[in-house]
Amino acid sequence: MKSFEPLTDSVFYIMASLTEPRHGYAVMSLVEETTGGSFVIGPASLYTIIKKLLKEQLIVLHDESDSRRKVYMLTDVGRQTLEADIARRKVMIEMAEKGLERREVCDEEH
């Protein structure tokens, strides 16, 4: 079971948006909305990454009935990959927070 980890931020955001069926443009809007505009994925990045995720079979084309919209969704492997990366990211945050806490104590002592 080959792993595509670690996921980059852009890839993570897109995959996190595709836990349920969504078309590309909706992913773009969702990321901008949920991050309050602090992370923006433009069309160039979006469709580049979607193409790559399709090739790696982390997402699939879910529905193409609409003449314009292409709806994608995570595959099982995609979901597992996302879950694994969530775990990695939690460790990351823990690591950073531990360091910052220790530093706060030092500041007070000074």
Per CB under 8 A, residues contacting a copy of itself are 5-6, 8-9, 12-13, 15-17, 19-20, 34-35, 38-39, 79, 82-83, 86, 88-93, 95-97, 99-100, 102-103
Per rule CB under 7 A, is residue 70 in the interface with DNA?
yes
CA distance 87 to 97: 15
With CB cut-offs between 5 and 8 Å by kind, which of DNA, a copy of itself, none does residue 24 bind?
DNA
CA distance 79 to 74: 6
Residues in 74-103 that interact with DNA by CB under 7 A: none
CA distance 17 to 74: 9
With CB cut-offs between 5 and 8 Å by kind, which of DNA, a copy of itself, none does residue 44 bind?
DNA
With CB cut-offs between 5 and 8 Å by kind, which of a copy of itself, DNA, none does residue 13 bind?
a copy of itself
